[in-house]
Copies of this chain bind each other. A is one copy, B any other.
Amino acid sequence: MKFSTIVIGDELLIGQVTDTNSGWIARHMAPLGWEPLSVRVIADDAAQIKLAIDQAFASTDLVLMTGGIGPTKDDITKQTLLSYFGGEMVLHEQSRRNVDEMFARRGIAMNELTAQQAMVPSSCQVILNEVGTAPIMWFERGNKVLVSMPGVPHETRTMMERAVIPRIVKRFHSDVDVEYRTMVVIDYAESALAEKLAPLEQQLPSYIHLAYLPEQGIIRLRLTGTHASHEVLNADMDRISQQLHKILGNCIIADADKPLAQIVGERLRKHQLTLSTAESCTGGNIAHKITEIAGSSDYFMGSVVSYSNDVKHRVLGVDQTVLDTCGAVSQPVVEQMVAGACNVCHTNCAVATSGVAGPGGGTPDKPVGTVWMAARVGDVTVSRCHHFNGSRAQIIDRATTHALIMLLHLL
Q: Which residues of A contact B (CB under 8 A)?
A: 12-20, 22-27, 30, 35-43, 48, 52, 55, 277, 279, 282-288, 290-292, 294-297, 300-308, 310-311, 314-315, 344-346, 357-361, 392-393, 396
Contact = CB atoms under 8 A, between A and B. Distances in A.
A25 B393 CA distance: 24
A126 B287 CA distance: 49
A22 B37 contact: no
A-B interface, 3 closest residue pairs, ranked by CB to CB distance from nearest: A283-B291, A15-B23, A284-B287
Nearest to A308: B301
B42 A38 contact: yes
5 contacts: A22-B41, A284-B288, A291-B396, A297-B308, A303-B303
Given A13-B26, A294-B359, A308-B345, A302 B315 contact: yes
A302 B304 contact: yes
Contacts of A297: 307-308, 361
Given A22-B41, A294-B358, 13 more contacts: A15-B22, A15-B24, A38-B42, A38-B43, A283-B292, A284-B287, A291-B396, A295-B360, A302-B315, A304-B304, A305-B305, A308-B346, A314-B344
A303 B301 contact: no
A303 B300 contact: no
A48 B40 CA distance: 13
Nearest to A11: B23
Nearest to A59: B51
A387 to B, nearest CB: 19
A38 B35 contact: no
Given A26-B13, A41-B39, A284-B288, A302 B294 contact: no
Contacts of A14: 23, 26-27, 30, 35-36
Contact of A283 (B43, B290, B393): B290
A277 B283 CA distance: 11
Contact of A285 (B15, B42, B288, B295): B288
B26 A38 contact: no
A296 B310 CA distance: 16
Contacts of A48: 37-38
Given A287-B284, A302-B308, A38 B15 contact: no
Contact of A315 (B13, B285, B295, B344): B344
A278 to B, nearest CB: 10
Contact of A13 (B36, B42, B303): B36
A239 to B, nearest CB: 29
Contacts of A37: 42-43, 48
B306 A302 contact: yes
Contacts of A285: 284, 288, 291
A45 to B, nearest CB: 9
B308 A284 contact: no
B392 A292 contact: yes
A175 to B, nearest CB: 28
A37 B43 CA distance: 7
Query: Considering residues A52, A294, A396, which has the most beta carbons from chain B within 10 angstroms of its beta carbon?
Result: A294
